[in-house]
Amino acid sequence: MIKIENLDCMYKTSNNQMVQALKGINLTINPGEFVAIIGANGSGKSTLAKHMNGIMLPKEGDVFVFGKNTKEEQNNLFIKKSVGMVFQNPDNQFVTSVVEEDIAFALENLEIPFDEMHERVRMALECVGMYEYKDASIESLSGGQKQKIAIAGAIVMQPKFLVFDEPTSMLDPQSREEICSLLKRLNETMNIGIIFITQFMEEVALAKRVIVMNDGKIVKDISPGCLFEDIDFLESMKLKAPQITYFCLELNKLGENINPGILDLKECADELAAALKGNKL
């Protein structure tokens, strides 16, 4: 598990001001969980994410990955192997220019025999549906394809957790959907714990648990359905519920009784159809 205890984080800005980005964070994420993290710009999401795999080390507080403190240098490799990270901009995540080489690069420090390395790269590429692009130049790929390669580069390490920091924010709607179903599959079929930072409320519905951050603190730890019902809270956090929630609430204003915690279109259509039938009878 990932266990965060009393984590604070201060940054020094270019004009020597101190900004407290994290304030007393306590959080435990268990293996196999799918957790979304949301919050307004500057609420501390990325800073928190970077503490989960040792990209940033706590000055105050501790982060443990399966009991190992990220601050201790001898735990470095274990932590990098256990918790992978995928960022918003796929272009910033590559070290070589050819797909297969880039994914193999991640394994280079692990002293894995050549055949096994080859096999792991193949599996990672197949998992994201990009094996046929193994010899392609990364530059020639679309944004969505690049993001899949970045994900393959993370799963080749066989991590227990993957942290995604707004992985879909630069993608077109179709690529966004593909990345979201990939995350769901990684979680459901490979049991990889997913920590998913997103600005898209529709995507939050993928998670079983959602953490809301505000001004460096965790202000809610709840299920997406319960969160979306509380529109006033969301709006006070400068967030919004998914369109579907507003749609259900508008219908309720017209006298229907539809559950505003509905998360997907099909469920909403079913409730609406039932309500319409009821009205006709």
Ligand X SMILES: Nc1ncnc2c1ncn2[C@@H]1O[C@H](COP(=O)(O)OP(=O)(O)OP(=O)(O)O)[C@@H](O)[C@H]1O
Take residue 209 and report the two structure tokens written for it.
Answer: 């648990």
State which residue has the least CB distance to Mg ion: 46
Distance CA 243, CA 273 (A): 18
Determine the 3-state secondary structure of 223 from DSSP: coil
Please enumerate in sequence order all residues whose Cβ is within 8 A of that of 79, keeping only pairs 6 or more positions apart, or say none.
53, 54, 65, 68, 70
Out of 2, 4, 29, 46, the only residue in the binding site for ligand X (CB under 6 A) is 46
Tell me the window of 41-49, 78-86, 181-189, 245-253 that interacts with ligand X (CB under 6 A): 41-49
Judged by beta carbon distances under 5 to 8 A according to partner kind, the member of ligand X, Mg ion, none in contact with residue 175 is none
Residue 206, phi then psi, degrees to nearest 5? -65, -30
Binding flag, residue 45, ligand X (CB under 6 A): yes
Residues from 6 through 35 that contact ligand X (CB under 6 A):
11, 13, 19, 21
DSSP string, 121-138: HHHHHHHTT-GGGTTSBG
Judged by beta carbon distances under 5 to 8 A according to partner kind, the member of ligand X, Mg ion, none in contact with residue 92 is none
The number of helices, as runs of H, and strands, as runs of E, in the chain is 11, 10
Out of 7, 34, 36, 47, the only residue in the binding site for ligand X (CB under 6 A) is 47
Judged by beta carbon distances under 5 to 8 A according to partner kind, the member of ligand X, Mg ion, none in contact with residue 214 is none
Out of 46, 70, 75, 147, the only residue in the binding site for Mg ion (CB under 5 A) is 46
**Contact footprint for ligand X (CB under 6 A):** 11, 13, 19, 21, 39, 41-47
